Structure formats: C-alpha cells, structure tokens
Amino acid sequence: MLHDQLKDATADQHARLDALPFFQALQAGTLPAPAIVTLLRGLAIVHAVLERAVTQSADARLAAVASATSPKLPLIVADLERLDVAQTPSITPAIHAALDCGAAILRRAENPLSLLGTLYVLEGSQRGGDVLRKAYAQCLAVPADQLSYWGCYRQDTQARWAQFTLSLNALTCDEGDVAAVTDAAVRAFEWFTRICSALYPYTEQQLKQHVTAVNFEAGDHAMPQAPGEMELALRAGRDAWDRNPYLEMRFGDRGRRFTSSDSCWLVTLIHLPETQGVRSLEWLRSVLASRGISTVILGIYLQCILRLWMDEGFGATASGPGLARFLADREAERASLGYAVPVVERYERRLARCSGLTVPSAATLIASAWVDERAGIVGALSSTLDWFTDQNRFTPEWTDIVHKLLAELDTLTGAVC
C-alpha cells in the first residue's frame, strides 16, 4: 500500500526532523517568537507553491487525493495577520531554504505525482499539530485558539487523515509512480529539516526584514532595513492602492500583497544613484505594464512614496533622484506622444456615465497603457485592454467608448508626428 511505503521510506528523515533543537525548544516553551513567525512565513511560501501547482494540474490521481485535503494557505495568512507581526524580522537563512524548497517543488511539478509526496508530508504534519498548537501558542504567549494552521482539522484530525491515506492507497501506481511519490516525500522532509535547522538556533545577524513577510509570493528582493522605512513603504503602498480601485477589482488580495512588496522595493531605490534608479524603474515599468498595470499607477506609487518620504523627514538621508527623474521622463514622454489630458478627461466623464460596471480613472489607465505600448513595451496595451473590453464584465456601450478613446489617441499621435 502506498501509505505504508511512504511511511517506511520517510521514517529516518521524519525522526531526524523531530530530533532538531527547534522542536526541543518548542516543547520546552523556549522557542523565540521570530523562529515561529519565520516558520509560518516559510510554510506560506511552500503551501502557496504547492497549492497553486496542485490546482493547476490536470492529473486525475493527484486531484483525487488533493480533494481529501483543504487549503492551508488562508489559515497561515490569517494566523500571521492575527499575530500582527508584519514588522517582526525574519530569520533569513530559513526563508532562503523555504524559497529553495518552493523552487524545487516547481521544478519537479512536471510529474504531478511528485506533488503528492510533498502533500503527504504537509498533510501528515497536521496530525501532531493539535499538540504542537498549544506549544506554539505558549511560546508566542497567545491563546491556542488564535492559531488556526497547526492542527487545523481539530477534532476531525484522525478522520481526515484516515480519509487522506485511504485515497492514497486507492491509487493505481506502478513502481515508477511509487518511486516518484516516495522520493518527493523524502525530499520534502529534507527541506523541512533544512528550514527548521536554520530557524533555531539563530544569530541576531540573521534577523532581517525579508520581502516574504509582506508577500509570500514575492521571492527574494531588496527590502528597506533602516528603522521606519518599511513602515513608510507599506503606508505609501496602501495610499497608492486606495487611489487605484482598479487594482482591487482586477487583482484582489494577491494584487494587494504585490502592492506592499513592490512598494518596499521602490523605497530601496531611493538610495540608488539617479541612473541605476531610473534603470530599475524602467525594468519594473515593463514588468508591470506587461501585466495590465500601466505606468500611471507606478507613477502614483512613486508620488505617494516621495511625499511620505519628505513629510516624515527622511529626505536628509537620500532624495530619490532616480524616482524624480523617472517621473519627469514620463511626463516628457506623454507630451512627445501627443497625450492630451483634456481628451482623456472627456472620456473619463463618458465612461463614468455608462450603465453597469464602471471603473474610476479607466480612461487614464487605458491611455497610459497606450503610451506604454508606444514607448516600446510590447503587449502593454492588450494586457490592459483585454480586461477593459471584456464583454462579460462591461456593457457594449462601455467597450465602444474605450475603442473610441483609443482611436482618438491614435489620431492625436498622427497629428504630433
């Protein structure tokens, strides 16, 4: 039976993991909070990759087993929010190990059965979670019922595990399949051993703000480390988000998380010399514009950041020459392309009067995507337009006005040229 084979194949790694100082400190009630918070962040990285890969897979056997589980990522996100630990630094080697683990899962996802091995290890970890939840809560000095990830099935834990193992054993597997599943499970234990070894003991130098604390899908990029800068970045991100309802409408919670992480990265650019700051922003511009986030939104981010930066008195340390220059360049670019604000505003009013769903600043966003495309970002316009002309979302009147706006912009360019 597959379950027995998995149990035998992973017994040694399981024992090695359980014997780590991390778990000894946890049981003794002495595990420091950053180790637990970082573990949750690492688990968010791994679960995000795994759950997305499982959902995207068309493999019937994987789907059959996965249906016996429930997604854990929302629980981890909720726990982190309840613990209110956004400013708590991460133990970076453990985060790097979690990112490597996520990358390894992705690389092996070509064979869906490898996902099954990882799923087995993570699902199995819920069994001890009920006991561990109390220990984690004690270390964090919070009531145990505030933690929802560990032991998430509560009184149904044993029944859910029985159902899961039953679905595993019901699979038809040849020798190669079994090898793929067990190999992935052994590797998953090895990854978690690496992560937990890095979590405890740790050194003060390893404690840093890492981007995955604000967005578990952001990978690994620069974060502001100076006191107050990260908080400023998050506030600026929230301001920019509130000023662009389109982001919420189109990208939802995932977009909100990327707004936070992007905002943090943008703040780090303030310290760069002008040329490198501008090049970095041009790079991000092309990344965003290709995904339906036209440059006018990036401009709003930068304005929010610069305003807060100056208001909060950070201006003495750096002035963000790259950010200011980038904004000035965009203004010049719009002028050179014949971008006419009155025209865009006229269409803004027309779109606002449409029946059905409307999006604030839609004409500005579309016109900005049009500028991006003209500036050489291939696909910028279509990635915005596809959404704004989706007939399942908007009325024919709306899409008709959008097309007229584009036609008029094209005419204006012709006049400039």
CB of 53 or CB of 409, closer to another protein: 53
Tell me how far, at minimum, the Cβ of 290 lies from another protein, in Å: 3
Whether residue 143 has a cis bond before it, omega within 30° of 0: no
Q: How far apart are the first and last CA of the chain?
A: 73
CB of 96 or CB of 133, closer to another protein: 96
Tell me if 268 contacts another protein by CB under 8 A: yes
CB of 190 or CB of 408, closer to another protein: 190
Binding mask 360-379 for another protein (x = CB under 8 A): ------------------xx
Instruction: Report 87-116 residues binding another protein (CB under 8 A).
Output: 96, 99-100, 103, 106-110
- Residue from 193, 244, 280, 384 in contact with another protein (CB under 8 A): 280
Residue 195 CA to residue 96 CA, distance in Å, equals 8
CB of 159 or CB of 378, closer to another protein: 378
Tell me how far, at minimum, the Cβ of 286 lies from another protein, in Å: 6
- Of the listed pieces 140-148, 190-198, 273-281, 296-304, which binds another protein according to CB under 8 A? 273-281
Tell me how far, at minimum, the Cβ of 276 lies from another protein, in Å: 5
Residues contacting another protein: total by CB under 8 A: 29
CB of 291 or CB of 393, closer to another protein: 291
Tell me how far, at minimum, the Cβ of 103 lies from another protein, in Å: 6
Bridge partner residues of 90 (DSSP): 208
Instruction: Report 158-197 residues binding another protein (CB under 8 A).
Output: none
Instruction: Report 52-71 residues binding another protein (CB under 8 A).
Output: 53
Tell me if 275 contacts another protein by CB under 8 A: yes
- Of the listed pieces 127-135, 146-154, 231-239, 265-273, which binds another protein according to CB under 8 A? 265-273
The 10 Å Cβ neighbour count of residue 175 is 7
Residue 103 CA to residue 49 CA, distance in Å, equals 8
Structure tokens at 209: 């703000």
* Listed residue (124, 50, 111, 44) closest to 77, CA to CA: 44
Binding mask 190-229 for another protein (x = CB under 8 A): -----------------------------xxxx-------
Tell me if 291 contacts another protein by CB under 8 A: yes
Kindly give, in sequence order, each residue whose CB lies less than 8 Å from that of residue 279, ignoring residues fewer than 6 positions away.
none
Q: Which residues bind another protein (CB under 8 A)?
A: 53, 96, 99-100, 103, 106-110, 219-222, 268, 272-273, 275-276, 279-280, 283, 286-287, 290-291, 378-379, 383
